[in-house]
A = this chain, B = another copy of it.
Amino acid sequence: MTFKRRTHTCGELSETNIGEKIVLNGWVDTRRDLGGVIFIDLRDRYGITQVIFEPTYNEEMHKEGSKLRSEYVVAIEGTVRKRPADTENPNLPTGMIDVMVDKVILLNEAKTPPFPIKKSGDVNEDIRLEYRYLDLRGEKMQKNMLMRSKMYNSVRNFFNDQEFLEIETPYLMKSTPEGARDFLVPSRIHRGKFYALPQSPQTYKQLLMVSGFDKYFQIVKCFRDEDLRADRQPEFTQIDIEMSFVDQEDIFSLVEGLMVKLFKETKNQELETPIKRISFHEAMEKYGSDKPDLRFNMELKTLNHVFENTEFKVFKDAIDNNGIITGLLAEGCGDFTRNQLDVLTNYVKQLGAGGLIWMRVKEDGLEAPVAKFMSDEEKEGIIDSLSAKPGDLIFIISGPKMKSLSYMGSLRLEMARRLDLIKPDAKPSLLWVTNFPLLEWDEDTKRFYAMHHPFTSPNLDELDKLDNNPGDINARAYDLVLDGNEIAGGSIRIHDAELQSKMFDTLGISKEEADRKFGFLMNAFKYGAPPHGGIAFGFDRLAMLFAGEDSIRDVIAFPKTSSASSLMDDSPSNVDEDQLRELHIKVK
């Protein structure tokens, strides 16, 4: 078929074009037949233009126009006209004109879509994913993909302007699972051997620092074979950054520059810097989270000092076992019903908490089931510590420190939702969380795991604890948090072969295993490795937050479901036996 290629997009024509002969290519968005005149809203990704088939203007084309249906693809040749008085649409950029059709060529027909293109956002997600190509035609996904494309551009321009090198790292690499599961790729040439898809380009970017590239970035796909949650995908996109001869401050100021640019260019918001900082321990104690949402104020208060000499067994146990008693004030919530309080109690219990203590603040003191176990002094202490006033509600959770804080942190968020504390126009709340513990103890496997990854440098003035008290060491690690979401995480790395080897030892990784998995990196460190560090952004989550969406699937063109399937093409799928035979594997 031959057709004229567009002279303009459907978002482009205005009064300055009146009288011009133009060509548009696009989709029939809507078609109305009013008194024998056919009005078509012609759509492309740039906008909508009204085109008119009028029998008195062109009888033959009016007949052609009457055959058009929603989502048909057409080329329209026509003449731009000022819209008749009172028919202008000031809400549409092209709303002052319309196009009188001189010729229409049908480029493709369309079956009736399984859901209305305009409102695809309201449709069941499985259907949207099965017909993803139609879902992507809708306004929401068009807007999100356009925004995401602009974000790539802003990010890359930022790093290019600062003389960063973009370097691609391999997708077929060595399997070195430590933490998450690898996706494996069987080798055809080497029977019984496998590649892994990268969980991150971590080792490669560190090697690039050894190579002297000094400032590296890449926007890169990473892969983790985990059971999925709403904001996870088996493949995800990372903005990956590494620098040599830097410390934490250099990374912070770089990233703050990037965030200023991204907020400006993507959302036209001015971001204030420097970004606030908080240590991991302070974040846990004040907000019960290592990614606190600071768009609202509620703070947890540690009440251990109030109960130093308590007779109340629950609290006494907590204190005796190095645990915590943490309180949260819900201002003006003293009138919560017993039912409401039961719901909240169940909420924290489902998370794993043993229970939730609540107290209503009255003019004459505290009213609560547990009040009888406390001295007047202790009640005073609670009220003072939380600056509680009559009419307020107090929550207390006690027990093992990190867990209790975390339950209370969740309750803090739940209260914010119930009280609508986060305003739709709240300023974005960015926060650095610093000084993470280097290690986490795992009760099941009775070993330490690296809280970030095994290449993270311990604080250098705490190295002496590595032998006797490694669980107490803090790391030179940091996360960037946006509105309660971790959007980036990084660290200053170990660049000393000996310290790296000691780190593997602390993690219970044998010398033989460390050699087999990471020998190349430790070798590289022996040939002149510079001090270095970096950070990686979860790009999908960042895009999701910028787009104001709740699911990362809404900012990914072709996402997988939570069972890691593509509903559109039905993958993963069976493959031919021949393919497996060539790869020397069989299904069992």
Contact = CB atoms under 8 A, between A and B. Distances in A.
Interface stretch (A284-292, A295-303, A306-314, A559-567): A559-567
A584 interface: yes
B529 A108 contact: yes
A556 interface: yes
A140 to B, nearest CB: 12
A166 B193 contact: no
A527 B113 contact: yes
A187 B571 CA distance: 10
A108 B244 CA distance: 13
B185 A184 contact: yes
A1 B476 CA distance: 13
Interface stretch (A145-153, A360-368, A423-431, A434-442): A145-153
A486 interface: no
A395 interface: no
Given A212-B137, A579-B184, A560 B194 contact: no
A481 interface: no
Contact of A585 (B173, B187, B245, B585): B585
A374 interface: no
Interface stretch (A84-92, A128-136, A275-283, A344-352): A128-136
Contacts of A585: 186, 585-588
B530 A73 contact: yes
Contact of A167 (B171, B181, B524, B557): B557
A402 interface: no
A172 interface: yes
Contact of A565 (B190, B246, B571): B190
Contact of A193 (B212, B527, B573): B573
Contact of A586 (B221, B571, B588): B588
Interface stretch (A50-58, A202-210, A329-337, A464-472): A202-210
A136 B583 CA distance: 32
A235 B170 contact: yes
A370 interface: no
A558 B204 contact: yes
Interface string A69-87: 0011101000000000000
Interface residues of A, number: 122
Contacts of A531: 1, 3, 73, 107-108
A127 to B, nearest CB: 13
A528 B108 contact: yes
A292 to B, nearest CB: 30
A192 B574 contact: yes
A454 to B, nearest CB: 16
A26 B520 CA distance: 22
A22 to B, nearest CB: 14
Interface in A516-535: 520, 524-531
A321 interface: no
Nearest to A244: B25
B173 A245 contact: no
A142 interface: yes
A240 B44 CA distance: 22
A379 interface: no
A263 interface: no
Contacts of A446: none
21 contacts: A5-B250, A73-B530, A108-B496, A113-B527, A131-B527, A142-B213, A152-B156, A168-B557, A170-B560, A171-B221, A173-B571, A174-B570, A174-B571, A175-B579, A182-B579, A185-B197, A187-B572, A194-B575, A203-B569, A520-B568, A584-B588
Instruction: List the 8 closest pairs (A to B, CB-CB), nearest first.
Output: A110-B528, A136-B211, A174-B571, A193-B572, A71-B528, A187-B572, A25-B245, A192-B587
Given A108-B531, A132-B211, 14 more contacts: A5-B245, A6-B245, A108-B495, A132-B207, A133-B524, A136-B207, A170-B235, A172-B234, A172-B572, A173-B566, A192-B574, A194-B579, A520-B569, A585-B586
